Structure 1
Amino acid sequence: MKISTKGRYGLTIMIELAKNHGEGPISLKSIAKAHDLSEHYLEQLISPLRNARLVKSIRGAYGGYLLAKEPGDITAGDIISVLEGPISPVEGIEQEEPAKRELWLRIRDAVKEVLENTTLEDLANHSEDGDNDAYMFYI
């Protein structure tokens, strides 16, 4: 299973919003510039996040986007499932022979557990610390 740029850049947007939570709206232009990403592509990603009620938009000259919930209440799994769909290491798990099906299901469940137990707050704090050993991901 690969997480596409949709999931990766969607997480980037959401982590930036989490880092600035409580400080007012952030424009996609500033996020795109800070991470050398296409603003147009980020605009395509923000719509499903807004529809899922993970972000709110603020119009006007000083507008932009805000998290719709507290950073600790939004998981990486929430974001990835909105942008990537259901998590599955392979297609057609149901048709696999039992031993392989069990392996694929265990892999899927391990990935889901990491995503569901990692909040935006965790990711925003990890990024700010600069200490790569502060938060370990186990699969």
Structure 2
Amino acid sequence: MKVSTKGRYALRMMLDLALHNTGEYIALKDISARQEVSVKYLEQIVTMLSKVGYLKSVRGPQGGYKLAKKPEEYTVGDILRITEGSLAPVSCLEDEPNQCGRYEECSTIAFWEGFYRCITEYVDRFTLEDLAEQQRKKISSNYVI
């Protein structure tokens, strides 16, 4: 499994919104400048995240985007599944229940199921708030007088 640029940028954008949350809407051009991702690419990502209710938006000169929920209510896994689709390491695990005709006699299925469980547990363990807190600690430890 390889997370695409879209998934990586979506997570960075959502983290940016969490870190710069003042209650006001944030313009995509500001996120674009901070994250060094084109506005055009971010527009594709916000469309996906807005459709599922993860972002609120307002048009116009004072418009922009903000999180629809608190940062601790979004897991990394939630965001990646929206932008990436299934996080399954092999295609036969994408269906629930498993539709593979060889499922019962497959000698590697237990390995793949365990691997998938590790991926899912890991990405669902971390919230946007966890990542934001890590970033804040990183920034505060770089303070020099």
**TM-score > 0.5 by shorter chain:** yes
What is the TM-score normalised by the length of structure 1?
0.87
Residue 26 of structure 1 aligns to a residue whose secondary structure is coil
Q: Any unmatched runs of 5+ in structure 2?
A: 94-99, 140-145
1:105 aligns with 2:91: no
Alignment of 1:51 onto 2:45: no
- Give the unaligned 5+ runs of structure 1: 132-139
Deviation, structure 1 residue 60: 2.0
Q: Hey, what does 2:82 align to over in structure 1?
A: 82
Q: Secondary structure at the match of 2:65?
A: strand
- Letter of the structure 2 residue corresponding to residue 130 of structure 1: K
Deviations 1:95-123 (A, max 9, x none): 46533111111111111111112100001
Distance 2:136 2:28 in 1: 20
Give 4+ residue runs of structure 1 displaced > 6 Å after superposition. Answer: none
Q: Normalising by the residue count of structure 2, what TM-score does the alignment of the two structures yield?
A: 0.83
Q: Which residue matches 1:135?
A: none
Larger mean CA deviation between 18-27 and 115-124 belongs to: 18-27
Bigger Cα Rg: 2
The amino acid of 1:35's aligned partner reads Q
Mapped partners of 1:72, 1:121: distance in 2: 5
Counterparts of 2:72 and 2:57, CA distance in 1: 20
What RMSD in Å do the two structures reach over aligned CA positions? Answer: 1.6
- 1:28-78 Cα shifts (integer Å, max 9, x gaps): 111111121111011001101001111110222121101000000111111
